[in-house]
Amino acid sequence: MIIDLHVHHCLSAEPRTDFAAMERLKRVAKAVGISHVCLLGNVFRYGIRASREGIRKINDSTIALVRRDPGFVSGFCFINPTLPRAVIREEVQRCVRAGLSGVKLEIDLNARDRRMRHLMEAAADLDVPVLHHAWYKSHEKYPHESDPSDIADLARRFPACRIIMAHVVAAGVRGVLDVAECKNVMVDTSGSQPVAGMVEYAVRMLGADRVVFGSDVCGRDFSCQLGKVLGAELKASDRRKVLYDNARKVLKLEGGKR
């Protein structure tokens, strides 16, 4: 059993009707043994700092896909944290009631920004994790993009909130060290090419309980990203935590299914 906690459904202009694309994605995932995926939304569908309406459409699409195939699909709601507090709270509540399991944040607002408070408080109140993009870039950095030190700052400000820092391979050694003392932070294994040694390093420094498999499909490949974990020098019990146990707890799945 393998759960992929970081999947984007890059759907067409009419996302609610694009179930065929999801079926194709499912076939590709199943072919390499992935039994469950967590959809994070088509996050760039309406650009950076998408409007309330755009966010709602993205989340409606995720909700529709989760409801259609709950045995294979879980989902997080996507939020633009620069939206007004009431809008954020209402949308997170709506999505959680509809069956989504967490919140995904991208590059709309840097994690150090004070405005993050509204979203983080809503997530803590609803007891759902926040999966946040992070990347150490020396090149092509987006204006509000967060790096792992920003995530560490966020985690310290909101210790009651569970945070999953995306892209540990792109965070690198420095990024892992940034969040090592923040016990409310897990990392996912996605990010960049399958750089050798990073999964092992994350497990060594954070413990296997704090590392979870994520592929970042559809920009990446299930097979290659999974191979990064299968090819890592890990104890079998640690590999199982990374590939399955940790995500199952995050998604509150029973026996790998909703």
Binding site for other proteins (CB under 8 A): 25, 28, 31-32, 135-141, 170, 172, 192-197, 200, 217-228, 230-233
Do the Cβ atoms of 132 and 105 come closer than 8 Å? Answer: yes
Q: Are strands 130-132 and 102-105 parallel, antiparallel or unpaired?
A: parallel
Residue type, 255: G
Q: Judged by CB, which is closer to other proteins: 56, or 167?
A: 167
- Tell me how far, at minimum, the Cβ of 209 lies from other proteins, in Å: 22
Q: Judged by CB, which is closer to other proteins: 4, or 108?
A: 4
- Tell me how far, at minimum, the Cβ of 25 lies from other proteins, in Å: 7
**C-alpha–C-alpha distance, residues 159 and 163, integer Å:** 9
Output the CA–CA distances (angstroms, integers) from residue 138 to 46, 54, 142, 177, 221, in the order listed.
26, 31, 11, 18, 24
Residue type, 115: R
Q: Judged by CB, which is closer to other proteins: 81, or 191?
A: 191
- Tell me how far, at minimum, the Cβ of 239 lies from other proteins, in Å: 12
Do the Cβ atoms of 61 and 41 come closer than 8 Å? Answer: yes
**C-alpha–C-alpha distance, residues 217 and 105, integer Å:** 16
**C-alpha–C-alpha distance, residues 26 and 41, integer Å:** 15
- Tell me how far, at minimum, the Cβ of 125 lies from other proteins, in Å: 35
**C-alpha–C-alpha distance, residues 238 and 231, integer Å:** 13
Residue type, 106: E
**C-alpha–C-alpha distance, residues 154 and 147, integer Å:** 11
Q: Judged by CB, which is closer to other proteins: 127, or 233?
A: 233
Q: Judged by CB, which is closer to other proteins: 221, or 245?
A: 221
Q: Judged by CB, which is closer to other proteins: 8, or 89?
A: 8
- Tell me how far, at minimum, the Cβ of 15 lies from other proteins, in Å: 17
- Tell me how far, at minimum, the Cβ of 241 lies from other proteins, in Å: 19
Q: Which residue has the tokens 């202009």?
A: 13
